[in-house]
């Protein structure tokens, strides 16, 4: 379940190769996408590889994990903006097939129901990418979220607002709520790859490694998935026992 590669770049190479393999065998695959600084090297590498190998991404359907409530697509800290900058504007995605929750939506409840339903109608997620928050959240599913949850509105924890505050000019600007795919939606993906890199993820990786499958550690739900990988770099693995992680050979 835990795999190790030396650094964020080698992880980006590996994950990009896995995505390209999937897209090559299933051009209309459904991808579950994540945001955050962990994913930036992954999307950079994917952009380079898709361009170099002339891979067709126009048939892909993508669903992002989450979005801040109150931020529109033109707000630089919105996840809509992030995805346009880091992926969608760089490759020939069909934009009507790239879905994110709408942070400005008036009827949030209806939107949540629609979002989970749309994923089911698309045939479910083939490959879900995940980062992880310092408290073990995936998407914006904070500790204590039900493992049965579907897309829902969340009140962001103080720690998550503080962690993500680095992207905003002041803490007052950090949204207090978000819409996130639920843990049940995430666990239904056919494959899951969770990536954690850097010293600041070492503690949460140890917490996750030693945790039982428990709603207080949301990411622990993926321990019950039969096709899930947690990929760490050496810095994020530094509090794990050496036998915890299998070395991975980058395939590119
Ligand atoms: C946010 C996102 C998560 C992401 C996490 C970690 O809270 N909602 O999906 O995994 O940040 O982000 P980073 O990769 O920047 O550490």
| List 67, 80, 126, 137, catalytic entry | 137
Tell me, using a 6 A CB cutoff, whether residue 38 lines ligand 1: yes
Domain 2-247 has CATH 3.20.20.140: no
Q: Residue 252 has what pLDDT? A: 47
Confidence at residue 188, expressed as pLDDT on a 0 to 100 scale: 97
Q: Is 131 in the pocket of ligand 1 (CB under 6 A)?
A: yes
Q: Which atom of ligand 1 is nearest to the CA of 132?
A: 10
Query: Which pTM value belongs to this model?
Result: 0.96
- Give the contacts of 107 (CB within 8 A, at least 6 positions apart): none
- Any atom of ligand 1 within 6 Å of the Cβ of 202: no
Q: Which residues of the chain have pLDDT under 70?
A: 250-252
Catalytic, out of 13, 64, 66, 141: 66
How high is the pLDDT of residue 20? 98
Residues 6+ positions from 11 with CB-CB distance below 8 Å: 5, 41, 42, 195, 197, 231, 233
All residues at 6 or more sequence positions from 242 whose CB lies less than 8 Å from its CB, including other chains: none
What is the per-residue pLDDT for 112?
A: 96
Ligand 1 contacts CB of residue 164 (under 6 A): yes
pLDDT of residue 250: 55
Contact 127, 19 (CB under 8 A): yes
96 counts as catalytic: no
């Amino acid at each position: 379940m835990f795999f190790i590669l030396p650094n964020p770049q080698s992880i980006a190479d590996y994950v990009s190769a896995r995505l390209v393999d999937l897209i090559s065998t299933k051009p209309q695959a459904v991808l579950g996408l994540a945001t955050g600084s962990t994913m930036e090297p992954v999307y950079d590498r994917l952009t380079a590889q898709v361009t170099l190998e002339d891979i067709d991404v126009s048939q892909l359907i993508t669903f992002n994990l989450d979005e801040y409530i109150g931020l529109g697509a033109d707000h630089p800290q919105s996840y809509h903006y992030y995805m346009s900058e880091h992926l969608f504007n760089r490759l020939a995605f069909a934009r009507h097939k790239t879905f994110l929750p709408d942070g400005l939506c008036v009827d949030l409840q209806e939107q949540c129901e629609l979002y989970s339903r749309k994923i089911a109608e698309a045939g479910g997620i083939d490959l879900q990418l995940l980062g992880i928050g310092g408290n073990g959240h995936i998407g914006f599913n904070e500790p204590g979220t039900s493992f049965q949850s579907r897309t829902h509105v969340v009140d962001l924890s103080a720690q998550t607002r503080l962690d993500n505050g680095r992207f905003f000019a002041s803490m007052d600007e950090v949204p207090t709520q978000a819409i996130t795919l639920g843990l049940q939606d995430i666990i239904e993906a056919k494959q899951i790859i969770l990536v954690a890199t850097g010293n600041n993820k070492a503690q949460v990786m140890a917490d996750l490694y030693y945790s039982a499958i428990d709603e207080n550690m949301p990411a622990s739900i993926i321990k019950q998935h039969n096709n899930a990988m947690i990929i760490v770099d050496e810095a994020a693995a530094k509090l794990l026992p050496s036998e915890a992680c299998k070395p991975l050979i980058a395939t590119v």
